[in-house]
Amino acid sequence: MATNLKNLSDYNTNEMPDAQDFKLGIVVAEWNKEITGALCDGACKTLLKHGAKEENINISYVPGTFELTLGAQLMAENAAVDAVIVLGCVIQGETRHFDFICQGITQGITVLNMKYNMPFIFGVLTTNNQQQALDRAGGKHGNKGDEAAFTALKMIDLQRKMKNGIPL
């Protein structure tokens, strides 16, 4: 079905799968914690709203976005989760750190999706400034943590349907 969705916060929440037996890992970068904490709150609220049980949401922290890849791998290997959401916030500075960190995390998460054949959801803001990040962490552009949570639920559901031969 064609869609012109530009903002996953606009998803029809009635179409969301019931998450009551889903197990989720969330790995949060502590760098820009004001933002990543808001992303994490948004993600948790959304998971709980769709039926996930608090005891099935496992949250871990890493120092910065660059560490999210290993944090996500450790979560996948040790926490028996159905999906891992990574939450970070990289803000453009005066040096090229921004580029290297963004490149590292995007490639890292892509590799993990393939390596483990399970959903690793990219909830990392990459913005020019703090205001743009605030706008996407519960501000005028919604909360990208909510969107990461929706995406995780949809991908777990898709994977289960595929494995069980249920028509999509």
d(CA 91, CA 133): 8
Smallest separation (angstroms) from ligand DLZ to the CB of 131? 14
Q: What is the DSSP letter of 23?
A: -
- Closest residue to ligand DLZ, judged by C-beta, is 64
Q: Residue 57: beta bridge partners?
A: 24
Q: Of 59, 103, 106, 66, nearest to 85 (Cα)? A: 59
Smallest separation (angstroms) from ligand DLZ to the CB of 47? 22
Burial of residue 51 (number of CB atoms within 10 Å: 0-12, 13-18, 19+): middle
Q: Residue 26: beta bridge partners?
A: 59, 85
Smallest separation (angstroms) from ligand DLZ to the CB of 60? 15
Residues that bind ligand DLZ (CB under 6 A): 29, 31-32, 63-67, 88-91, 93, 97, 101
Q: Give the residue with the Cβ less far from ligand DLZ, 60 or 159.
A: 60
Q: Give the residue with the Cβ less far from ligand DLZ, 46 or 69.
A: 69
Of 33, 49, 97, 115, which is the active-site residue? 97
Q: Give the residue with the Cβ less far from ligand DLZ, 126 or 151.
A: 126
Question: 141 an active-site residue?
Answer: no
Structure tokens at 153: 């639920």
Which residues form the catalytic set? Answer: 97
